[in-house]
Amino acid sequence: MTEQLKGISVFVTAVEAGSFSLAAERLHLSRSAVGKTISQLEHRLSVRLFQRTTRSLALTDEGAIFYEHCLRALEEIQAAETLLESGKKSVRGRLRVSMPALYGRMCIAPLLTEFAIQHPDLKLELLFSDRVSDLLEDGLDLVIRNGKLPDSSGLVARKLGEHRMMICASPHYLRQHGEPQTIDDLSHHEVFNYINSGVPHRWIINGEGDKKSEFVPKSRMLMDDLEAIADASIAGFGIALLPCWLIEEELQNGKLVRILSKDLDSVYETHAVWVQTLHLPLKVRLAVDMLVSRLPTSMN
């Protein structure tokens, strides 16, 4: 029975991954092991589950029917395990989390690492990427996202906290070039801009009431690394829009100064997002509860 359940798990992972290679990566198996397991499952069922070519992997009609029933069965098993875990308060298994690279490294990873140390039976897998991860396609239990969330059915989000993006410069730069008094004055200054996938980041500035304005500042210095922009600003080379969690120490010791009005700062919310399920796994629920309790409600 154990081998049968293993075969079903490998089959479902292969369907969701879209290839044996990706399924092997997610299951930490070799590609040949995945292929052998699927072949054994097909032999036992006396049906072909996949139509295989060198470039694609597609379910047969029988495979699609079997997949639907396997999903329901696995959901019931997961629900039963979750109920038992809740009773024992035991966190076990793998927790796979994706998060923005720099924010994740500085703010989220230390907390989740501490969480894993508190639960020795938990295997923690952290992925750092600024691309928007797909929970199902990437086999994730949880993703951390900054900013406005797109409308997505089948997903659940919980707010973890919020942080500010602020316009700042070094005292040395301001002594040399003067301090801008308005947003329009920025066009006469050296400004750093963050780029992601070759696209300049739009600055979002609060206006009167709830109005916000978005613009890309005139800039001849573009970087795809916020730490590099912060370092260049600290060195006195220009003005930048930076997150408070990155430059908190520099603001306190005077290496950077917030310029223009604090009212112009944009506030970004941070959310934990997971796939909607009847019974949320204990490892996910406790990890999210910990992040909510440990991350500042508002980072200024």
CA distance 189 to 173: 10
pLDDT of residue 214: 83
One domain for residues 56 and 103: no
- Spatial strand order of the sheet with 199-200 comes to 199-200, 192-196, 221-223
One domain for residues 168 and 229: yes
> What's the CA gap between 124 and 96, in Å, rounded?
6
Q: Quick one: pLDDT at residue 85?
A: 57
CA–CA–CA angle 5, 7, 10 (5° rounding): 110
pLDDT at 287: 95
Both 140 and 65 in one domain: the answer is no
Residues 153 and 273 in one domain: yes
In a shared domain, residues 171 and 263? yes
Q: For the whole model, what pTM was predicted? A: 0.68
Residue 129: give its domain's CATH number: 3.40.190.10
The mean pLDDT value of the chain amounts to 86
Model confidence at 232, in pLDDT bands (50, 70, 90)? very high
Calpha distance 125→192 (Å, rounded): 34
Provide the sign of the torsion angle of the four alpha carbons 296, 168, 217, 260, taken in this order.
positive
Nearest to 295 by CA among 94, 115, 156, 139: 115
Condensed to tens digits (0 to 9), the pLDDT of residues 271-288 reads: 999 988 777 888 999 999
The pLDDT score that the predictor gives to residue 3 is: 58
Residue 84 CB burial class (10 angstroms; 0-12, 13-18, ≥19): exposed
197 and 236: one domain?
A: yes
Q: Which of 97, 104, 101 has the alpha carbon at shortest distance from 138?
A: 97
Q: What's residue 134's pLDDT? A: 81
Residue 219 is part of which domain span? 163-267
For residue 68, the domain's CATH number is 1.10.10.10
User: What's the pLDDT tens digit per position in 35-84?
Assistant: 899 898 888 888 899 887 767 788 898 888 888 888 777 777 766 666 56
CATH of the domain at 233: 3.40.190.290
Which is higher by pLDDT, 193 or 23? 193
Q: How many domains does the structure of the chain reveal?
A: 3
Residues 157 and 291 in one domain: yes
**Residues 45, 187: one domain?**
no
Res. 244: pLDDT tops 60: yes
Of 44, 70, 87, which residue constitutes the final position of a domain?
Answer: 87
Q: What whole-number percentage of the chain has pLDDT above 70?
A: 90
CB 24 within 8 A of CB 31: yes
Q: How do residues 204-225 score in pLDDT, each as one tens digit? A: 887 655 677 888 888 899 999 9
The reply to whether 254 and 283 lie within a common domain is no
Ramachandran bin of 184, using left for φ above 0, alpha for ψ from -120 to 50, beta for the remaining angles: alpha
Tokens representing residue 293 in the block:
């309790």
